[in-house]
Structure 1
């Protein structure tokens, strides 16, 4: 089993307070706890972004088809401005947002450059007014459109330095601070890649606000395709594009989406057992907590009760929120909860939703033993001391693990010493 990274510290000052005394220490999950101050209100300030982009202390995290550049599976690697200059040019934010929209040409592929934030622990160097720190950007170097040659050149240059783009469905071995930086960048890059066209009219969109919004420009220097299907040409002056509802009123932009997802540790009415489920594709003996998406006009508590009933037939009473976890695959927010079954609602049946292969009640002592020796990622071997045939559970980087630690340790306060 590969070594598990440490979890992040809570993103607040560790001081005694009424809330901490009543509810315990805040739980911070993997992919949260970023060291960067996003200063989101400065993303539209191209003077700030332009200065940050070319500063000597600036770090660029590169992605090739959503695979991050890294030194090894535990540590990211960063490029400099000179490394990415062949792809992004001297400064893609030199023009104002209004000028970029006015000069829009849908046949030209623009480099996707995201501003992630400032690492204020490194205050020396870059400063903008009262804000200081080392700037961080992310750049998509996936060869696309009219920038394929330039992107491929950057990729080869990074590989020549002995660096690698880590392939894989999920990246759960990065150190905790960089996992949070990676999560932010990956979610935004994926969202931009999925939204090249306007949801209102179907026409191409333009990335603005340093990669965190997309706009449907009213004009385009590219002409329409010919009737014979030939390539588009470039007009001497922009043509008016078809009308679009997104250009009216205040709904003139497309913003990144975050999908709320509930994940819950369900305890029996006597609080001595925990409900676990498994999907058919999972390794033998590997179980986890139940989970599902929130639906429109549904509270988190209602979603927890509905998903548990749909997947297992179990009926819940009280539901409380435990903690949350960003999950950049592609852009979920896992809302961790603890729910308790009704005294006459503990019977399991899987007739409603066929998602689970099995669901069962597990005694607390078995949960505690599995948390000691049976945790691992889906594709990894279990921890040292695991006995074949015993219960297996998700690793500590998964919020499911943190929920199970909470219920096994008494529900509130810090996670128990397993």
Structure 2
């Protein structure tokens, strides 16, 4: 498969402002899937007057998902639809009843499609103005056919696909422009979390999506049954809610003690000559720095000293936050040993010049061909939409470590 066209990355926040930190470390890096254009106005997610107005406002748009795949116009364009299109699924006004009354009248036998309020887009003309806040409301909706709404969902899907729209079949949807990618990432994360948590972790009873899709509640009663729900510790005080899950992961570019090599690894399922930075999940009661040192040692045998954080990347597959770091190996800790953790097929040190050339001609997504100018047998690396690429670029092309290591 030829390499996919690589979209631009989000702009560096406040990149035009000079500061002590930007002079030392360069501009802040905004990675792909970050940089949402929306004002999340999280404090309005329980305001049903606002949500009602947001649902019906002429500027409001909906991003649709089927089986967690977004509706697209083409691989680089996220499709949006107005309220009138989704009304058969959403209904006249799901926010008509205040949240406390919805919880009190909960009926687990009634399927309610997952609807997420993502925020206000401040840019468009004729926006919704509510109190001191202004913008075009953006919602995400799961249209996957389920329960008694199966026919309505199928009818909606058929209508959309007849208009040359389609639900993505791509694995990671890395061809969207940065603002659309950020919307997709937050929507997918929340829809996936709601789908995975239909039951209370404490008592096992069905839960209700609340807070405009950002929390799940274990109601004290269920009108679908004559018998009372079991007692549940989660209903004590204000603890009757479950919040979206984010799993922190460290990913690190490790430089040699002399500063002239980078440690890279590969898994056996990757294409030939394709390497990347090492990565792994944080464990409980572990700092980012400790996780970097542990993961690098477990996977490669290399021992790392100083660790600094470079940037982070949301990764909605399903709910990761990639914490990108740069670490430097200890002078007596550079020997590679794959005998601890069998996750890697290979790990080795690469000269900076070889990595720099691979960033220029050898990047691609998994399953894609390398870029123009690549010579067979050369090093291959992840595309620039991956934080691994940004970490390697920060090291071999200066910027983040300029004046710290020899480039």
Q: How does 1:36-47 map to 2 (within 5 A)?
A: 36-47=38-49
Paired with 2:219 and 2:154, the residues of 1 have a C-alpha distance of 29
Deviation of 1:111 after TM superposition, in Å, equals: 1.8
SS in 2 for 1:412: coil
Paired with 2:349 and 2:18, the residues of 1 have a C-alpha distance of 37
Q: Where does structure 2 lack aligned partners over 5 or more consecutive residues?
A: none
Paired with 2:30 and 2:392, the residues of 1 have a C-alpha distance of 15
2:275 maps to what in 1? 287
Deviation of 1:13 after TM superposition, in Å, equals: 6.4
Paired with 2:129 and 2:352, the residues of 1 have a C-alpha distance of 53
2:384 corresponds to which of 380, 391, 396: 396
1:210 corresponds to which of 209, 212, 218: 212
Paired with 1:284 and 1:13, the residues of 2 have a C-alpha distance of 38
1:179 maps to what in 2? 181
Deviation of 1:161 after TM superposition, in Å, equals: 1.4
Are the aligned partners of 2:395 and 2:401 in contact in 1 as well (CA < 8 Å)?
Answer: no
Q: Return closer, same or farther for 1:413/1:75 CA change in 2, 3 Å cut-off.
A: farther
1:122 corresponds to which of 112, 124, 131: 124
1:10 corresponds to which of 9, 12, 25: 12
2:308 maps to what in 1? 320
Are the aligned partners of 1:123 and 1:132 in contact in 2 as well (CA < 8 Å)?
Answer: no
1:131 maps to what in 2? 133
1:73 corresponds to which of 64, 71, 75: 75
Report Cα offsets for 1:15-67 as digits up to 9, x if no partner. 22232223221001000011111111110111111100110110100000001
Paired with 2:129 and 2:211, the residues of 1 have a C-alpha distance of 20
1:48 aligns with 2:36: no
1:140 aligns with 2:128: no
Paired with 1:11 and 1:49, the residues of 2 have a C-alpha distance of 29
2:348 maps to what in 1? 360
Q: Where does structure 1 lack aligned partners over 5 or more consecutive residues?
A: 224-234
SS in 2 for 1:98: helix
Paired with 1:326 and 1:115, the residues of 2 have a C-alpha distance of 19
Report Cα offsets for 1:174-202 as digits up to 9, x if no partner. 11110000000000000000000000111
1:329 corresponds to which of 313, 317, 322: 317
1:369 corresponds to which of 357, 371, 389: 357
2:292 corresponds to which of 299, 304, 307: 304
2:107 corresponds to which of 88, 102, 105: 105
Paired with 1:24 and 1:407, the residues of 2 have a C-alpha distance of 12
1:159 maps to what in 2? 161
Paired with 2:322 and 2:212, the residues of 1 have a C-alpha distance of 26
1:58 aligns with 2:60: yes
Moved over 6 A (4+): none
Deviation of 1:14 after TM superposition, in Å, equals: 3.1
Deviation of 1:123 after TM superposition, in Å, equals: 5.2
1:340 maps to what in 2? 328
Root-mean-square deviation (Å): 1.4
2:37 maps to what in 1? 35
Q: Return closer, same or farther for 1:170/1:123 CA change in 2, 3 Å cut-off.
A: same
Are the aligned partners of 2:36 and 2:179 in contact in 1 as well (CA < 8 Å)?
Answer: yes
Paired with 1:145 and 1:209, the residues of 2 have a C-alpha distance of 23
1:242 corresponds to which of 213, 219, 230: 230
Are the aligned partners of 2:45 and 2:212 in contact in 1 as well (CA < 8 Å)?
Answer: yes
SS in 1 for 2:264: strand
Aligned pair count reads 401
SS in 2 for 1:383: coil
Q: Return closer, same or farther for 1:152/1:12 CA change in 2, 3 Å cut-off.
A: farther
2:249 corresponds to which of 261, 273, 296: 261
Are the aligned partners of 2:215 and 2:242 in contact in 1 as well (CA < 8 Å)?
Answer: yes
2:91 maps to what in 1? 89
Deviation of 1:411 after TM superposition, in Å, equals: 5.2
Are the aligned partners of 1:263 and 1:290 in contact in 2 as well (CA < 8 Å)?
Answer: yes
Are the aligned partners of 1:25 and 1:413 in contact in 2 as well (CA < 8 Å)?
Answer: no
Are the aligned partners of 2:15 and 2:27 in contact in 1 as well (CA < 8 Å)?
Answer: no
Paired with 2:331 and 2:141, the residues of 1 have a C-alpha distance of 53
